[in-house]
Structure 1
C-alpha cells in the first residue's frame, strides 16, 4: 500500500507560505525603477492604466470565491472585499474610485482609463487568468492565491514614499488609495491566512494552496514583464 505523506504542521505550512515571498513581484526590475524614480511620465501612466484593469477585476475574482464557498461565515467576511473595491453605493468612496483619482492626479483622462485602450495584452491575459482560476478552482485555493497580500503592505509603503519623493507631478490626491489600502491589505491578509491554515488540513490541500500562491506570484510578475517590455520598446 502506498504511503500518504502526512500534512505539514500549522507552523510548517505557514512557513512554507511565507517562503513564497521570494517570488513576489516587489523584486521585479520594473518596481525597482518605479521606486527609484526612474519611470518616465508615460511609463507611470501606462502602469496606472494597466493596474486599473487588474483592480477592476478583483471584485469579480472575489465574487467567484463567494460563489464557490459553502461556508456562510466565510462569505459574510469575504464580501467586504467587494464592498471595499466597488463601494456600497454610488455616493461613497471605493478603492476603484480612488484608483481613478490616481489616474487623474497623474494627468490622465478618466475616459481613457475606463475604456481600457492602454491595457497591454499580457496584463489582460494574466488578470483574466486569475479571475478564471478563482472560478474553476476550490475556494480555498483561490483564497490561498490572494495571500500575495501577506507581502504587499511593505511594498505599498515603499511605493507611497516613491510617489511623494520622485513623482511630484502626480497630485497628492492620488496617494489616497495607498494611504488607505496598507492597513486594509494587512487585515485582509491575516484573515485569508487563517482561512487557509484552518481549511487546508491534508498534505494534498496544502500543496494545492502553495501552488496557488506561487501561480499568483507568477501572474503578477508576468504583468510587470509586459509593462517593462513596453517601456523598453518605447525607449
Structure 2
C-alpha cells in the first residue's frame, strides 16, 4: 500500500501526486466486492444485483454533469464539459453509455422497465449517488470538477473488468461489454481535461486541499455502493424492497 505523501501542497505537481495517491489507496477497484466480481466468484444473481444498482449511478451521471456545466459562466468550459452528457445520454442518431449499460442488463436477463424504474436498488446506492449530485451543486465549481477525477483510475478498472468477466462468466458475452470498451477512450480524455483544470485553477494550498477532499468524497461515494452490495448480496442481508435474485 503506498504511503501518504508528506509534502505540502505547494505546487501543481504536489497536487497531482496527492491525487494519484488517493486513487491508489481509495479507489473502489480495491473493494472486496470488485475482487469477487472480476474473479468469477459471484453467481448470476449477484452480478445482476451489481448491474441493476450500478445503473442508477450511470443514469445519474448526465444529471450530475448538467449541474457541473451550469456552474460555469465560461463558455469554453461549458463547450468542453457538455460532451460528457452526450457520451452517456447519446444523441438522436447514436447510442450513449446509458443505452450500452441497458444492453448489459438485458444480456443478464433483467427486465428493462424494471431496471429503468430503479425500484429495486439499494437505499445506500440511491443515497450515495444523490449525494454526489448534491456535492457538485453545493460546493465550488473547482471542487465539482475535481470530484470527477476518479476517471483517472477508471481505464485500468475497465480493462480488468472486461478480461475478468469474459473469462469467468459463461452468461457474459463481448456484445454486452461495450460500455466498458467505449469508456477506455472516453475516460482518459475527460480525466486529462479535469486534471489540467484543477492543476491550473487550484492556486493555493487550501484550494489544492479542497480538490483532494473532493476526490476523496467521490471515492467514498463509489466505495459505499460496493459496501452495500457486499452486505446485501454476499453477506445475505437484502433489505425489504430491494432486488432479490431468486425472484428475477
Normalised by the size of structure 2, how large is the TM-score? 0.89
Superimposed CA distance per residue, residues 144-175 of structure 1 (whole angstroms, 9 cap, x where no aligned partner):
11101111110110000112101121233211
Q: Is the CA contact (8 Å cut-off) linking 2:15 and 2:208 kept in structure 1? A: yes
The 3-state SS of whatever aligns with 2:236 is helix
Match of 2:30 among 21, 27, 34: 27
The 3-state SS of whatever aligns with 1:73 is helix
Q: Is the CA contact (8 Å cut-off) linking 1:126 and 1:219 kept in structure 2? A: yes
Q: Is the CA contact (8 Å cut-off) linking 1:107 and 1:170 kept in structure 2? A: no
The runs of at least 4 consecutive aligned structure 1 residues that moved more than 4 Å come to: none
Q: Does 1:221 align with 2:223?
A: yes
Which residue is equivalent to 1:48? 51
Q: Distance in 2 between matches of 1:139 and 1:88?
A: 26
Which residue is equivalent to 2:243? none
TM-fit CA distance, 1:234: 5.6
The 3-state SS of whatever aligns with 1:88 is coil
Q: Where does the alignment leave 5 or more consecutive residues of structure 1 unmatched?
A: 1-5
The 3-state SS of whatever aligns with 1:38 is coil
Q: Distance in 2 between matches of 1:141 and 1:44?
A: 33
CA RMSD of aligned residues (A): 1.3
Q: Distance in 1 between matches of 2:63 and 2:73?
A: 18
Counterparts of 1:152-171 in structure 2, within 5 Å, are 152-171=154-173
Which residue is equivalent to 2:95? 93
Q: Is the CA contact (8 Å cut-off) linking 2:39 and 2:165 kept in structure 1? A: no
Which residue is equivalent to 2:86? 83
Match of 2:116 among 110, 114, 117: 114
Match of 1:67 among 61, 70, 74: 70
Q: Is the CA contact (8 Å cut-off) linking 1:35 and 1:159 kept in structure 2? A: yes
- How many pairs align? 229
Q: Where does the alignment leave 5 or more consecutive residues of structure 2 unmatched?
A: 1-7, 239-248
Superimposed CA distance per residue, residues 196-227 of structure 1 (whole angstroms, 9 cap, x where no aligned partner):
11111111211111000001111111000000
Q: Distance in 2 between matches of 1:70 and 1:140?
A: 13
